[in-house]
Amino acid sequence: MSVNLFDLTGKIALVTGGVHGLGMAMAKGLGNAGATLVINNNTSDTLEKALEEYKAEDLHAHGYVFDVTDDTAVEEAIAKIEAEVGPIDILVNNAGIIKRTPIVEMETKDFELVVKVDLVGPFIVSKYVAKNMIKRGGGKIINICSMMSELGRDSVSAYAAAKGGLKMLTRSMATEWAKYNIQTNGIGPGYFATSQTAPIRVDGHPFNEFIIGRTPAARWGNPEDLQGAAIFLSSKASDFVNGHVVYVDGGILATIGKPSNEN
Active site residue ranges: 159
Q: What's the full length of the chain, in residues?
A: 263
Q: How far is CA 121 from CA 13, 142, 185, in A?
A: 17, 13, 16
| Cβ-proximal residues to 86 (8 Å cutoff; 6+ apart), any chain | 12, 36
Q: Give one DSSP letter per residue of 180-248, joined into a string.
A: GTEEEEEEEE-SB--TTTGGG-STT-HHHHHHHHHSTT-SPBPGGGGHHHHHHHHSGGGTT--S-EEEE
Q: Taking a C-beta distance cutoff of 8 angstroms, is the pair 200, 171 a contact?
A: no
Reference 187, options 159, 225, 161; nearest CA is 225
Continuous segment of H or E residues that includes residue 124: helix 121-136
